[in-house]
C-alpha cells in the first residue's frame, strides 16, 4: 500500500487551462508593489520624501476663534452637501415616477386603440 507522501501530487498548475496554458502566468513569484522605485529614482526620491515630510510636519496653531470659524464653515459645507444630496434624490424620484406613469398611460392608450380595431 502506498503512502500519501509517495503518491503523485497534483499541482494547481495541472488543472489551470487559461492564458494559453502557460504555467508562468500563475506560478511566478509575486513582486511587492514599488519594489524598484528606489532603484529607478534613488536620491531624488529621498530628497522629495524629506521635503514633503518637513512641510507636513510643521504644526499650525490656531486660536479659539479660528477653530470655531473653521468648525462653523465645515458644518455649513456639510449641510449644503446634505441638502444637495436630498434634493437630487427627490428630483430623481419624481422623474422616475413620472416616467412610470407616462409609460402606463401610453400602454392604456395603445390598449384602447387595439380594442377599437378589434371591434371592426
CA–CA separation, 92 and 96 (whole Å): 6
Q: How many other C-beta atoms are found inside a 10 Å radius of the C-beta of residue 45?
A: 13
Q: Where are the domains of the chain?
A: 13-119
Give the integer Cα–Cα distance in Å for 48 and 42: 10
Number of residues that make up the chain = 120
pTM score of the predicted model: 0.43
pLDDT tens for the chain, 120 residues: list them.
555 555 555 555 555 555 556 666 656 677 777 777 777 777 777 777 666 655 555 667 878 998 899 899 999 999 999 999 999 999 999 999 999 999 999 999 988 888 766 655
* Cell of residue 44, nine digits: 531624488
Amino acid at each position: 500500500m502506498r503512502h500519501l507522501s509517495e503518491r503523485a501530487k497534483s499541482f494547481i498548475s495541472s488543472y489551470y487551462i487559461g492564458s494559453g496554458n502557460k504555467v508562468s502566468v500563475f506560478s511566478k513569484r509575486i513582486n511587492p508593489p514599488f519594489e524598484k522605485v528606489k532603484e529607478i529614482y534613488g536620491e531624488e526620491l529621498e530628497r522629495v520624501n524629506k521635503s514633503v515630510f518637513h512641510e507636513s510636519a510643521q504644526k499650525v496653531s490656531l486660536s479659539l476663534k479660528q477653530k470655531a470659524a473653521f468648525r462653523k464653515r465645515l458644518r455649513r459645507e456639510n449641510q449644503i452637501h446634505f441638502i444637495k444630496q436630498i434634493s437630487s434624490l427627490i428630483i430623481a424620484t419624481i422623474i422616475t415616477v413620472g416616467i412610470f406613469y407616462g409609460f402606463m398611460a401610453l400602454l392604456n392608450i395603445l390598449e384602447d386603440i387595439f380594442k377599437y380595431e378589434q371591434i371592426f
